[in-house]
């Protein structure tokens, strides 16, 4: 058996290298992946969906979990995920303006109604962001 100047045999060096690689793989495998079901159960345990805005925020999150998978969702930058709310806001404006202008003869009241609907979208965004952060915290706890 040949030894290096350090006095370690080649088999010991190879064994140490293999152990190091095995530890890296084991570390990667020990990262627990959150399932979509765990994410949905977590969201439902925290957010009741009693208000319309909370229910819509949960719906948006559930759609994103189904579309992306929760692990991909949590790897995505939040700012990118929030772009769907801009599209939703556009829909609210495009649908609400004609409906509100017909429903309310008083222009001031019509503007207030539109402002409240837009405000609701902002509250939905805020709740969605809270849910996103809550899922990140759950993932940290699972891997903690």
Question: Tens of pLDDT along 27-78?
Answer: 554 567 899 999 999 999 999 989 999 999 999 999 999 999 999 999 999 9
Higher pLDDT, 55 or 111: 55
Does residue 17 sit in the same domain as residue 70? no
Q: What integer pLDDT is reported at residue 24 of this predicted model?
A: 55
- Same domain, residue pair 46 and 103: yes
Residue whose structure tokens are 């060096």: 13
Are 2 and 59 found together in one domain?
A: no
Angle at the Cα of 112 (from 130 to 98), degrees rounded to 5?
100
Note down the domain range covering 91.
Answer: 34-143
Same domain, 43 and 8: no
| Same domain flag for 16 and 62 | no
In the block, residue with structure tokens 């530890």: 23
Same structural domain, 76 and 115: yes
Residues 114 and 56 grouped into a single domain: yes
* pLDDT tier at 85, thresholds 50, 70, 90: confident
Same domain, yes or no, for 108 and 128?
yes
pLDDT above 90 coverage of the chain, percent: 49
Show Cβ contacts of residue 116 under 8 Å, excluding neighbours closer than 6 positions: none
Written as six digits, the tokens of 27 are 């570390």
Alpha-carbon span 64 to 122, nearest angstrom: 18
Could you report the per-residue pLDDT of 8-25, keeping only the tens digit for each? 554 544 555 565 565 555
> Does residue 120 share a domain with residue 96?
yes
How long, in residues, is the chain?
144
pTM of the model: 0.73
> For the chain, what is the domain count?
2
Q: Are 15 and 41 part of one and the same domain?
A: no
In a shared domain, residues 25 and 39: no
């Amino acid at each position: 058996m040949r030894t290096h100047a350090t006095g370690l045999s080649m088999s010991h060096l190879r064994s140490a290298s293999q152990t190091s690689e095995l530890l890296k793989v084991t570390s990667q495998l020990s990262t627990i992946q959150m399932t979509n079901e765990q994410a949905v159960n977590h969201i439902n345990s925290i957010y009741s969906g009693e208000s319309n805005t909370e229910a819509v925020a949960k719906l948006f999150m559930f759609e994103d979990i189904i579309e992306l998978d929760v692990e991909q969702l949590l790897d995505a930058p939040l700012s990118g995920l929030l772009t769907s709310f801009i599209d939703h806001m556009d829909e609210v404006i495009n649908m609400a303006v004609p409906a509100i202008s017909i429903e309310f003869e008083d222009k001031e009241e019509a503007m207030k109604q539109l402002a409240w609907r837009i405000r609701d979208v902002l509250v939905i965004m805020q709740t969605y962001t809270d849910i996103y952060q809550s899922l990140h915290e759950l993932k940290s706890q699972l891997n903690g």
